[in-house]
């Protein structure tokens, strides 16, 4: 008669197999990892050789003097305004940078394993690199995604806030890139999700000179010759500041009897305008913003269907409570008010506040 395994014997076998697995699995994983690293090393050597060969061929036609290049996802290099075609067999890199010295690779950070771009997970250096390389579309599905940012400076002592990707589109059909059109809702725009502090637009109740002449603009931006300006910009992380680009800001003027032309300024950081938040609905149309047609709704607010009829998506909080927050457009039916957003997210045509009122500050900026 055949005798089977006892329970104790089965348990002993299971324990032995578990021990074997604990020993062998790491060994197998290490072997796989070593093989991958060796493959990447060999691929990198072949690629860097192909880069130097491409430069040598280029020098036969005209001198190639550029020293700093970005590795594109197709393996080619972008060096300044020039593209260098790199012909290589086998695996191509997916990103990185190369520094050249007389056509020879001096330093490199070529990557063959790359995670898909992610606004939430990428550091600012990676985001800046991708945007400058024209890889903005890789973040198209990330509109509305958030990440944390720490402000440290006057009035901000290592305080953490949340920012979100508010825009990636840059379509001429929407006005972007056309004469007289604001750049503030074009390209890669990041905005603070909530109010970071409160501040008045001006120390007195005036909107004369609009956004460019406002104390708020000086509070956000470093203005040449203005001592104490740039409180918010100076508090941003240094890594992020390297990627914030100058932006053409068009803003509406005040009383039409004394001011008849919209304002233009160049800023690193700015407040949003009414049209960048709302689209006009069937009622409660935005009035008294003379620059309404000079910008467009940000992708984020468009995806949230924020209009003058449905505006809950425009609510911002300050210290966990919904609060009023400033917009940059002067109110054209008077000399003392600017547009703002209410605690419900609305902006009826009569909703504007005295410039000397301390409302919420929730700025935006562009990367590029």
pLDDT tens, residue by residue, 289-344: 999 999 999 999 999 999 998 999 999 999 999 999 999 999 999 999 999 999 99
Token readout for 128 is 């800046």
**At a CB cut-off of 8 Å and minimum separation 6, what does 290 contact?**
252, 253, 256, 262, 329, 332
Token readout for 266 is 């160049």
Q: How many CB atoms lie within 10 A of CB 348?
A: 14
Q: How many CB atoms lie within 10 A of CB 245?
A: 15
Token readout for 53 is 């060969």
pLDDT digit string, tens, across residues 4-23: 667 787 788 788 877 887 77
Q: Give the strands of the sheet with 68-71, arranged side by side.
A: 82-84, 77-79, 68-71, 97-101, 104-108
- Calpha distance 166→168 (Å, rounded): 7
- Calpha distance 316→346 (Å, rounded): 11
- Calpha distance 265→214 (Å, rounded): 11
pTM of the model: 0.75
pLDDT for res 40 = 67
Output the furthest CA–CA distance in the chain (Å, rounded). Answer: 111
Phi, psi of 136 (to 5 degrees): -60, -35
pLDDT for res 139 = 95
- Mean pLDDT value across residues 47-57: 86
- Calpha distance 7→12 (Å, rounded): 9
pLDDT digit string, tens, across residues 231-288: 999 999 999 999 999 999 999 999 999 999 999 999 999 999 999 999 988 766 688 9
Least confident of 70-79, 158-167, 355-364: 70-79
State what percent of residues in the chain have pLDDT above 70.
92
Least confident of 8-22, 35-49, 165-179, 328-342: 35-49
Beta strand ranges found along 193-288 (DSSP E): 197-200, 247-251, 263-267, 269-270
Token readout for 73 is 């996802």
Higher pLDDT, 36 or 249: 249
- Calpha distance 214→251 (Å, rounded): 12
- Calpha distance 146→134 (Å, rounded): 21
Indicate the pLDDT class of residue 74, thresholds 50, 70 and 90. Answer: confident
């Amino acid at each position: 008669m055949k005798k089977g395994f006892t329970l104790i014997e089965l348990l002993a076998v299971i324990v032995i197999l578990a021990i074997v697995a604990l020993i062998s699995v790491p060994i197998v994983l290490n072997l796989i990892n070593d093989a991958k690293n060796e493959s990447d090393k060999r691929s990198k050597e072949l690629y860097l050789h192909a880069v130097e060969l491409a430069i040598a061929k280029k020098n036969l036609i005209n001198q190639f003097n550029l020293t700093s290049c970005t590795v594109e996802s197709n393996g080619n290099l972008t060096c300044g305004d020039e593209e260098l075609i790199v012909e290589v067999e086998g695996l191509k890199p997916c990103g990185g940078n190369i520094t050249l010295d007389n056509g020879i690779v001096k330093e490199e950070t070529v990557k063959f394993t790359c995670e898909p771009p992610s606004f939430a997970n990428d550091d600012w250096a990676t985001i800046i690199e991708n945007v400058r390389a024209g890889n903005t579309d890789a973040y198209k599905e990330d509109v509305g995604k958030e990440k944390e940012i720490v402000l440290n400076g006057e009035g901000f002592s290592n305080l953490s806030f949340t920012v979100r990707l508010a825009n990636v589109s840059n379509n001429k059909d929407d006005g972007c890139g056309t004469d007289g059109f604001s750049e503030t809702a074009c390209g890669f725009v990041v905005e603070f999700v909530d109010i970071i502090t409160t501040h008045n637009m001006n120390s007195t109740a005036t909107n004369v000179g609009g956004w460019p002449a406002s104390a708020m603009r000086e509070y956000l931006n470093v203005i040449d010759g203005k001592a104490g300006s740039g409180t918010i910009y100076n508090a941003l992380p240094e890594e992020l500041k390297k990627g914030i680009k100058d932006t053409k800001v068009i803003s509406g003027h005040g009383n039409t009897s004394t001011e008849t032309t919209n304002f233009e300024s160049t800023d690193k950081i700015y407040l949003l305008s009414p049209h960048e938040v709302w689209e006009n609905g069937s009622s409660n149309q935005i009035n008294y913003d003379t620059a309404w047609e000079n910008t467009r709704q940000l992708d984020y607010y468009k995806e949230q269907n924020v209009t003058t009829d449905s505006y809950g998506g425009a609510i911002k909080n300050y210290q966990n409570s919904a609060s009023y927050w400033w917009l940059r457009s002067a109110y054209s039916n008077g000399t003392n008010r600017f547009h703002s957003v209410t605690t419900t997210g609305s902006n009826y045509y009569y909703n504007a506040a005295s410039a000397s009122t301390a409302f919420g500050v929730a700025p935006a900026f562009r990367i590029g």
